[in-house]
Amino acid sequence: MTMELTIHEVANRLNLPWNTIERWVRQGRIPMQKSGNIYIMREAVMKKWAEAHNLSFFLSKKEIDQEKNLQPENLLPAMQRGSVLYGINGQTVEKVLKDAIDKIPDLLIKNKKELLATLIERESLASTGIGNGVAIPHPRTPLSEMHKNSAIITCFFEKPVDFGSIDNKPVFIMFILLSISVKTHLHLLSRLSFCVRNKLFIEFLKTSPAHDLFYAKIADYEKEIDQIGDF
């Protein structure tokens, strides 16, 4: 099938303003044919011409669109995917991490050893305890088995644990943040930290709410974030 392109389509594919292409047609620099009232060009001719002139040329607009539309997902779906764990035991950082990882459903994470090792490695660089009794452990680089979707595992502790947080308060809840890319990581982290900055939310978390209540609260906060339009 031969595909015919108009000036605007050619401009899109060359990533140039359409008035430049229009001028090129007028000056006879680009071989477009007049067909009725519009100028058209066959895709194959176009490709050849672009190659001859060293111009980068995108075969179709869809590829770019796909990349652009890939907005990082929000907290709620990631949290629902990651599930909520209650009564995590342990006196030290390593022990609570190990207990939490053991309790993660096998469907989500298969290589638990790798996860534990990377989390501990990250923890040894600097504590992920961000204050107010909250910690957000995460691997330094996206996990090898996390491809499509990010996940946040919410872990309520049995007893507060000293995480070496910046405000020295013992940690009673941690969110294990497993993201697919650095961009998603920042996006989720920034939304999460908006929530935990709120004193009321911390009080709410201290009551170890049931997971549907917890998700509802998160949904409320996300709505607020979207209204401000910050993140």
Partner 1 sequence: MSIFKSWRNPFKWNFFRSDDRLLLILIAVIVGSCSGLAAVALNRSILILFDWLHPFRHYWWAFILPAIGAALSSIFLEKIVNEGAGHGVPEVVYSVSSYGGLLRFRSSFSRIISSCLTIGSGGSAGPEAPVVMSGAAIGANIASFFSLNDRQRIIIVGCGAAGAISSIFNAPISGLVFSIEVILGEWKASNIVPIAIASVAGTEISRFLQGNSIAFAHHNFDITFFDIGASFGLAIFTAVVTIFLTRSLKTVRGISEKIQIPLWVRAAAGGCAVGIIGMFLPVVLGEGYHFIGSMINENFTQGLLVVAIALFAKIFATSLTLGSGGSGGIFAPCLVIGSLAGLTYYRALAIIYPSLSWVNEGCYALLGMAGLISGMLQAPLTGIFLIVEITGGYNVILPLLIVSSVSTTLCHYIEPASFYLKALVAKGQLLRPGTDARVLSDLSVPELLERDCLTVNQNMRLGEFIHIIKKSRRNIFPVEDEKTGRFLGLIHLDSIRSYIFNSDMYNAVFLWQIMDTDVDKVYPDDDLSEILNIMDRKHLFSIPVVANNKFIGIISKATLLDQYRKELMVQTLD
Q: By the criterion CB under 8 A, which residues form the site for partner 1?
A: 14, 16-17, 19-20, 23-30, 52-55, 228-230
Q: Which helix (H) or strand (E) holds 86?
A: strand 84-88
* Complex with partner 1: residue 28 or 69, whichever CB lies closer: 28
Alpha carbon distance 26, 217 (integer Å):
61
State in angstroms the smallest separation of the CB of 10 from partner 1: 12
For residue 81, give the nearest of 231, 211, 217 by alpha carbon. 211
* Complex with partner 1: residue 53 or 206, whichever CB lies closer: 53
How many of the other CB atoms lie within 10 Å of CB of 81? 16
State in angstroms the smallest separation of the CB of 136 from partner 1: 21
State in angstroms the smallest separation of the CB of 29 from partner 1: 5
* Complex with partner 1: residue 23 or 95, whichever CB lies closer: 23
* Complex with partner 1: residue 53 or 159, whichever CB lies closer: 53
Task: List C-alpha distances in Å: 40 to 9, 12, 99.
Answer: 9, 14, 65
State in angstroms the smallest separation of the CB of 231 from partner 1: 8
Return contacts of 217-226, CB within 8 angstroms, 24+ apart: 218/75, 218/76, 218/79, 219/76, 221/75, 221/194, 221/195, 222/74, 222/75, 222/76, 222/191, 225/191, 225/194
State in angstroms the smallest separation of the CB of 175 from partner 1: 23
Cβ-contact 206, 179 below 8 angstroms: no
* Complex with partner 1: residue 30 or 136, whichever CB lies closer: 30
State in angstroms the smallest separation of the CB of 42 from partner 1: 16
* Complex with partner 1: residue 58 or 86, whichever CB lies closer: 58
Q: Rg for the chain (alpha carbons), in Å? A: 26
